[in-house]
Structure 1
Amino acid sequence: MSDKRVAERIEAVMGALAARNHRKPWQALVVAVVLVVLGGFFARTLALNADMVGLLPKSFPSVQDLEKMRKRFGGQGYVVVVGMGAEPAVLKQFVDDMVPKAAQLPEIQFVNYQRPRPFFEEHALYYVDVPDLKVIQERIDARIAWEKEQANPLFVRLDDAPPPPIDFTDIEQKYAGSASQRMANGEDLYFIDPEERLVVLMLKPKGSSADLNYAKKVVGQVEDFLAQQDFSKYGPTFKTAVTGTFKKKMDQQKMITADLGRASGIAMVLLVLYLAFHFRSALGVVFTMAPVLAGLSWTYGFVGLAYGKVNLLTGFLAAVLGGLGVEHGIHLLGRYTTLRSEGQDSLQATREAFSHTGFSAFIAALVAALTFLSLSISEFAAFHEFGIIAAVGMLVSIASYLLILPALLGLASRWGWTPRTHVGSAGPLALLARWLPRSYRAVAIVVGLGLVVLISQAWRVSFSYDASKLEDVRVPSVSLDRSVNRILGYSQTPVVVLTDSRDMEHEVVRQLEKRKAERGKESTIDFVGALVDLVPKQQQEKKTVLQAIRQRLEKLDPERMPKDVRSNLERALKMTRAEPFQRENLPEAVRRQFEGLGGADAGGVVLVYSAINLADGARTRTFAKEVRGMNLPDGTQVSAAGEALIVADILDMVAQDGPRILGAAILSVLAAMWLTLGRLRTALICMLPTLLSVAGLMALLDLKFNYLNIVVLPVLIGTTVDAGVHLMQRLSEPDSDFISVYAETGRAIVGGLLTSAIGFLALVIAQHPGLNSIGNVANLGFGVNVVIVLLGFPSLLLLVERWRRKHSTTAAPAENT
């Protein structure tokens, strides 16, 4: 059976189904209503999950490691309470008042509110290796000898050399990057910024921030606690705010949910307004929107059954699918109206419109569905689910129009409705249709040169790994969280390596510090912390050396020392009096950071703090490589766990899947169009607008792609091919006239592209920068495509047609001779 025969059969089936629904409208509408009720029932519990962890398959090691970490260690990050707007002494009083109360909250493990400086300063010399302690001892011996010489009246010094120092800060500096030093560093004991008048309390919850219901629970608990306090004693300008990982995730969820609701609402309003302008008829709006709304309910019923949730990308599909679905309605209802104006009755016009224009809409929907489906080859759930849901939505939209629109037209015609006649010879597109055949060569040259210029700049387009640009810094919890990190001096959310023994803990620390030393300044590790290092080895041996040092220091007379040396002497004496200690002697806030939910018996952890901003995706990928794949002596391998590693895997996956998805999208579109249109050449011509618009998109305005907006590329390929299909199909009909076809179909094409763009246009006003970037890139692509479809593509068709006529007329005389 020929390809043309397949197309004719599909046309006949679609025309027959449309005619049947036109004759029996109530049956068709009852079926539609039942399906809408079922769709609404299954979609009723759908909710947005904006957590990044859910976007990777559970089989990924980073996901499995994170799940193990959460079960044993708990969630990452804190609920951070910030006091602000008072003098430093008042802020410290606020902290001292709140800590005992906050620690009693049911969901709080502990409160971290001070640097453990006193403890680590007192025991600083226990963190110094024995050979370095002996160097200190030698320096003191040298100073004692010098003092004795100075005290000897018979001794004459022949030079002006300064006395040997008893300062050993240079040796302490060797250990400045250790966890004990980094955790104790800071100008103040409290986490305070006197200039900004901020003080920080970090409350560690028992659960994970990935569980948004738990995050709401614990943040609500903290906020309720603060609301019950009387802060008037801290001054009239004093106030509190909540930030941290848990609060940021809540705010992000709230913002995205509001953005998606706003975008969907605005998109629907804009669609209705445009349809009212396009058809100049209220019924025209109803005929077009009713199938779209029904199709959306069916689609999201499928989503409820298949997934039970929507993610950051699939959440805004309602607005996008609404715009894409309306495009079919514009073509179908526009063709129906034209046929009625030509004298056909309602049944004939319905059958004819769905046989030909409906077939073109079916091809466009099938091509778009296959293009969307190419996203499903990715393991990245945001792409995978987006592809499947969008593909289902595109096919459902055609089924919805085939079921509902003929039924509505049938009822309207029985009740005496006559469609408003659109004059094809009037309007800007009609003028353009008459002008193009006279100027197509110049238009083709200008558009072609413009595209060449754009394509030549494609090398400038790059992929942005900077996730910070996908966060809205205007959200108070996000901007405040950055201030908290600055005050702390290190990240609130280190990645975690789970350990089963102290030997394993020590080996992990050793390997990570070795990697850090090997990479030097290029290392992305700030410091590594573990209880095995916070409780140093050889303490008894070190105690013996420290006692010897103290005995020597006590021989020096402080009164004979300069003031600066005297302070060093007093500090040294204090450190040498420190006694050995064990884990239970560490400050509670320090010890609890390294203990799991089951306490000390649940196993240990190694905390790895990054030296980079984890919003920098490119460096986060480097950090992930540096903290993964540590081979232990027993043959096992361990890796760090944390959301930073999830982000790194997502970025790796997008970088790997992007070219494959784009290639699959192009090939699937070409194959589908070749099969349905019958000729490879016709399929290629229909694809040209899409391919050129994508190339122009990549060059225009030097916009960067990210792991969210890159999904727009296959979307553009799948949706904008619709214009080429409709124009080619209409021009291939017998006795078709370019001017009349362009005037009628061009109007529908523009309307279709505008309604497709409306779904994305609503995202331009979103507060979330990631959603905003999707809207910007998509509408840029649609804008480029309008120019190509209205000018470039018709000019190309006219060039091909004139070339064909010229060669056919020159070949005919040659055959006759």
Structure 2
Amino acid sequence: MRRWFIEILIRAADVCARKAWLTIAGVVLVTGFMGYYTATHFSINTNTLDMLDPSLPFRRAARALEQAFPQLKDNIIVVIESDTAVRANDLGQRLADRLRPDRRAFTSVYEPAGGPFFARNGLLYLDVPALEELADTLAKAQPMLGTLAKDMSLRGLLSVLGRSLGEKLDAEEEKILLPIFDSISATIERQVNHQPARLAWKSKLFSGAMPAEAGRRGFVLVQPNLEFSQLESARGPIEKIRAAIAELPLEAGRDRVRLTGGVVMDDEELGSVAQGAEFSSLLSFALVCLLTVAGLRSPRHVVAIVLTLVVGLVWTGAFATAAIGPLNLISINFAVLFIGMGVDFGIQVGLRYKEEIYRGFHHREAVRRTAGGLGGALTLAAVAAAVSFFSFVPTSYQGLAELGIIAGCGMGIALVANLTVLPALLTVLPRWLEWQRPETGAAGKLRAVPVRYRGAIIGVSLLALLGSAATLPWVRFDFNPLNMKDPTTESVATFADLLADPDTTPYTISVLRPDLASAVTLGEKVEKLPSVDKVVTLESFVPADQEEKLEIIDGINLSLGPLLEPAQRQQPARPAEEIAAVLDFKRTLEHSDPNGLSAAAKTSLARLTAALERLQGAPGWPDQAIGQLRDNIISDLPESLEQLRQLLHPELVTLDTLPAELKARYLSRDGRARLEIYPKADLRDDRAMRRFVREVQSVAPDATDSAVELVEGGDAVIEASLQATALALLATGLLLLAVLRRPLDTALILVPLVFSLLLTAASSVLLRIPFDLANIIALPLLLGLSNAYGIYLILRLRAEGQLADLLRTNTPRAIFFSALTEIISFGTLAFSPHRGMSGMGILVTLSLAFAVLSTLLLLPALVASRESRTSPAEAER
């Protein structure tokens, strides 16, 4: 059967060489069709969670959550930051109002703590002491607020401030007035310096009356309609959001609006992945071409191998596109992998062909002898590599499984291409260069090193193995995909900022329960866990102590409400009246009695006097300056007073009166309720995240959401990668044992693989490059890429009989240059702008380097040691 199979390979290579032009014409047609298909159907999925088996329990829980609350998926988080939380939320409300009408671009636009409901009932969400303090403050500010409500102009504002200076100010009055004086001073100073200078009345007078907010940030959650026909599926909605942001009245140095969320990070990451993959493939292709020139020393062979490589790459790309569909961050690297393996086969064929030419055989016979002498080893290497790659398929790491399918089938494509297309190209390409033997005296001496120093090589290797094994307890896995992303991009930097605050962290846990009552009961248990900060259910949005709060608000409204009614407002002041008001106020400041004023009040009034003097002396005074001053100082005062008026008319909040948009995020249409669980610790620490997840799972095993997906997904990747490595090693060993029928030869081939695995793990520890969702594939990938080295060496040894005869052939040279092409192919990934791809490139490069060194040094040293025991004289030859 073996002779029959080899005869098929010989005849196939011979036919392709004999009918070379017909073969090439057929290849061109097929390759052109496959290239067109790939170009029009190729797509990428950058969601790292989609690289995991959807049947895993935590993935099923995530799908259940998505079905119950589809509006929570794929949200763009717009983070608005300003000098006050009030202004940030105001800008957020304006942005939401601009985006909400565009139903074609956005499925939903949600503003937490925004909208008419909170504009009316916001005071009910203050605790009782804070509400009482606000009532006292508003009572003391009542005269000023009453005047401002009637006359919202410079005339009204400056007249009430001037009257306050005619009276002795106590500490509470200073607490109210001095911030206003300082704000007016700062506004005038910025106006004179031609800087943005609008005064924010909401933050100065009524910040305590606004709904509860986190820090100085406002948020708008936007769910875009994704265009899956495009690689960057959210590009259109993101561009529309940025266009709407550009229309907001943002002030430089005061306001900042940033976008983050999984959708935005995926789009940004896709750009770096695509850029990195394109750069790595091109650089890898160029370096491999140069390397084949150095290894083969024949432009004819180099052109033939490169063209064969392109054909195989196109065929494999078409297969991947048709069989897999959208590729992921792991499987997208099939191109780099194929370049390495494809050139490996090409170099083996090319150097063996040259060897036959050196022996005096003509072209057709050299092709036949190459196919007959090397075809078995190539086939075994391809099958062994494919078996290793197919060992990825049974794992739960779907990203690795898809790469295994593509790479495994790619080995068959590479084998067929190099035994058919390559002979045809060698036939038609002109033989205009003389054959040059690559053998040199230095190369011959290097080949003798494993024999002469076999004892030292084996001893050093044993020490390296023991040292590597000792580092295994320190091997670390980083399961957080955020650490694979570029931290300098806007979305990642913003996401990291949100993670630093437990109140805004996107890494929360959600649990579904059949109804709200059971959700509240579970929430009480979860809230007692040490790692949990708070639990939010729909019931959390029903304020406590409402009767007491409503009484306090009624008291405020009784005294202040009538003053805020629109019917009380006077006619707008004329410019001349406002100029007179400014001058009168300046005279009042200059003649105010400093006695009884605190040091802070004296400083504040002196600053305001100086600012008014600068305003009078600036160009454009008075007509142009007064108009600008009115816009800057009055600013949002009318809107702020109207918002305060609304806040004084709340209604009793119940589950039924909560906004529908809010209820839909915590109570599904079929009645299921969601608990949202917030961590107490900073979840940028992986250990804190794991502790948080495990504690919640101890009382809610069906917990899901981002934090659970990261921890469980990381564990699944570790398990899948170790399983794939073990399966690949076992399958390769069984295949070699079945084909070679010699346990010792099988063991010799496996030794470099085990050696490389341990050294790669040790390198991860020593170089402080933790394994992650991308570079963890270095371990199982190593077996598929490098088991061919030992196969080539051992099969050629069996053909030649003695190690010394093997070392005189082109096989060691072919192995060296084949390995070097694979090292270069993956080494180019180290320059990828994507951190995950870069780390993968480093670890795979190191693992391949360990593999080729152990194959060309340790393996011959072991063979030489064996021969020395059976025939000392032959071993020393």
TM range (shorter): 0.7 to 0.9
How many Å separate the matches in 1 of 2:452 and 2:501? 70
| Alignment-derived partner of residue 135 in structure 1 | none
1:531 to 532, 538, 546: 538
Residue 29 of structure 1: how far off its partner (Å): 2.1
1:614 Cα offset (Å)? 5.2
Cα shift readout 1:595-615 (whole Å, capped 9, x = no counterpart): 259998876533233345556
Structure 1 residue 83 displacement after superposition: 5.2
The 2-side partners of 1:496 and 1:338 are apart by 66
Distance, in Å, in 1 between the alignment partners of 2:244 and 2:277 is 31
CA distance in 2, matches of 1:273, 1:625: 52
> Which residue is 2:679 aligned to?
610
1:680 matched residue in structure 2: 743
Q: Which residue of 1 aligns with 2:727?
A: 664
Q: After superposition, what is the alpha-carbon deviation per residue over 1:319-376, rounded to whole angstroms, capped at 9, x for unaligned?
A: 1111111011111101111211221111121111122223212211111110111111
Partner of 1:219: 238
Who is 2:436 aligned against?
Answer: 421
SS in 1 for 2:393: helix
Q: Are the equivalent residues in 2 in contact too, given 1:75–1:206 (CA < 8 A)?
A: no
Corresponding letter in the other structure for 2:492: V
2:654 aligned partner, one-letter code:
Q
For the Cα contact (< 8 Å) 2:264–2:491, is it kept in 1? Answer: yes
Q: 1:594 to 1:275 in 2, by over 3 A?
A: farther
SS at match of 2:327: coil
Bigger CA drift: 677-686 or 68-77?
68-77
Moved more, 270-279 or 792-801: 270-279
Partner of 2:654: 582
Indicate if the aligned counterparts of 1:62 and 1:646 stay in contact, CA closer than 8 A.
yes
User: Which of 836, 842, 847 is the equivalent residue of 1:776?
Assistant: 842
Contact 1:80–1:202 (8 Å) recurs in 2? yes
Separation of aligned partners in 1, 2:874 and 2:239? 78
CA positional deviation for 1:386: 1.3
SS in structure 1 of the partner of residue 329 of structure 2: coil
**How big is each residue's C-alpha offset from its partner over 1:255-279, in whole Å with a ceiling of 9 and x where there is no partner?**
2222222222221122112122222
Asked if the contact 1:330–1:751 (Cα under 8 Å) also holds between the matched residues in 2, the reply is yes
Q: 2:51–2:399: 8 Å Cα contact kept in structure 1?
A: yes
Contact residue 243 and residue 480 of structure 1 kept, 8 A: yes
TM-superposed deviation, 1:192? 7.8
Distance 2:380 2:481 in 1: 38
Match of 1:172 in 2: none
Partner of 2:41: helix, strand, or coil? coil
Amino acid at match of 1:700: S
Q: CA deviation at 1:35?
A: 3.2
Contact 2:349 2:370 in 1 (8 A): yes
2:11 is the alignment partner of 1:21 = no
Give TM-score, length-normalised by structure 2: 0.71
Report the AA paired with residue 11 of structure 1. I
- 1:377, distance to aligned residue in structure 2 (A): 1.0
- 1:442 to 1:245, Cα distance in 2 relative to 1, 3 A: closer
Distance 1:77 1:640, change over 3 A: farther
SS in 2 for 1:457: helix
Q: Matched residue of 2:439: which SS?
A: coil
For residues 297 and 485 of structure 1, the distance between their equivalents in structure 2, rounded to whole angstroms, comes to 43
Tell me how far apart the structure 1 counterparts of residues 44 and 799 of structure 2 sit (CA, whole Å).
47
Q: Distance in 2 between matches of 1:256 and 1:206?
A: 22
Indicate the SS of the match to 1:732. Answer: helix
AA partner of residue 523 (structure 2)? L
Aligned to 1:33: 28
Matched with 2:524 is 513
Alignment RMSD: 4.1
- Who is 1:760 aligned against? 826
Matched to 1:51, the amino acid is N
Q: Distance in 1 between matches of 2:252 and 2:726?
A: 64
Q: 38, 41, 59: which one pairs with 1:45?
A: 41
> Residue 205 of structure 1 is aligned with which of 223, 226, 230?
223
Which of 406, 409, 422 lines up with 1:389 in the alignment? 406
CA contact (8 A) 2:392 2:404 kept: yes
SS of 1:462's equivalent in the other structure is coil
Aligned match of 1:256: 273
Shift of residue 729, structure 1, vs aligned partner:
1.9
Deviations 1:94-136 (A, max 9, x none): 5565453344443242323769699566355699xxxxxxxxx
Paired residue type of 1:280: R
Q: Is the 8 A contact 1:496 1:640 kept in 2?
A: yes
**Amino acid paired to 1:79:** I
Call closer, same or farther: CA 1:188–1:398 in 2, change over 3 Å. Answer: farther
Q: Percent identity?
A: 20
Distance in 1, matches of 2:372 and 2:490, equals 56
Partner AA of 2:473 in structure 1: W
Which residue pairs with 1:75 in the alignment? 72
Deviation at 1:399, TM superposition (A): 0.8
User: Cα distance, 1:618 vs. partner?
Assistant: 5.5
Cα offset for 1:449? 3.1
Find the counterpart in structure 1 of residue 757 from structure 2: 694
Q: Are residue 101 (structure 1) and residue 101 (structure 2) matched?
A: no
Q: Please, which runs of 5 or more residues in structure 2 have no aligned partner?
A: 130-206, 556-646
Among candidates 774, 777, 780, match of residue 708 of structure 1: 774
Q: What is the letter of the counterpart of residue 530 of structure 1?
A: T
Match for residue 810 of structure 2? 744
- Cα distance change of structure 1 residues 210 and 240 upon mapping to structure 2, 3 Å threshold: same
SS of match in other structure, 1:343: coil
Distance 1:88 1:582, change over 3 A: closer
Aligned residues: 699
Shift of 1:752: 0.8
In the alignment, what sits opposite 1:334?
A: 351
1:323 alignment partner AA: G
1:627/1:594 Cα in 2 relative to 1: closer, same or farther (>3 Å)?
farther
Equivalent positions of 1:471-510 (< 5 A) are: 471-486=485-500, 489-492=503-506, 494-498=508-512, 504-510=515-521
Aligned to 2:596: none
**Cα distance in 2 for residues equivalent to 1:443 and 1:704:** 29
- Residue 140 of structure 1 corresponds to none
Q: Which runs of 5+ in 1 are unaligned?
A: 1-5, 128-184, 552-574, 632-637, 810-817
Q: Tell me what 1:376 maps to.
A: 393
Alignment map for 1:256-655 (pairs within 5 Å): 256-412=273-429, 415-417=430-432, 420-426=435-441, 428-486=442-500, 489-492=503-506, 494-498=508-512, 504-517=515-528, 519-520=529-530, 523=531, 525-535=532-542, 543=547, 580-583=652-655, 585-586=657-658, 592-596=661-665, 604-612=673-681, 620=689, 622-627=691-696, 639-655=702-718
Q: Aligned partners of 1:307, 1:82: CA distance in 2, in Å?
A: 37
The Cα offsets for residues 30-56 of structure 1, whole Å up to 9 and x where unpaired, read as 332343234324423111101134223
Q: In structure 2, what residue type is equivalent to 1:689?
A: P
| Paired AA for residue 766 in structure 1 | S
Name the CA distance, whole Å, in 2 between partners of 1:123 and 1:200. Answer: 17
The equivalent residue for 2:59 is 63
User: For residues 133-162 of structure 1, what are the alpha-carbon distances to aligned partners after superposition, in whole Å with 9 as ceiling and x for unaligned?
Assistant: xxxxxxxxxxxxxxxxxxxxxxxxxxxxxx
TM-score where L is the length of structure 1: 0.76
Q: Secondary structure at the match of 2:420?
A: helix
Q: SS where residue 203 of structure 1 aligns? A: strand
Q: Distance in 2 between matches of 1:89 and 1:72?
A: 33
Q: CA deviation at 1:215?
A: 3.0
Name which of structure 1's ranges 591-600 and 702-711 shifts more when overlaid on structure 2. Answer: 591-600
Q: Partner letter of residue 843 of structure 2?
A: V
The answer as to whether partners of 1:193 and 1:487 remain within 8 angstroms in 2 is: no
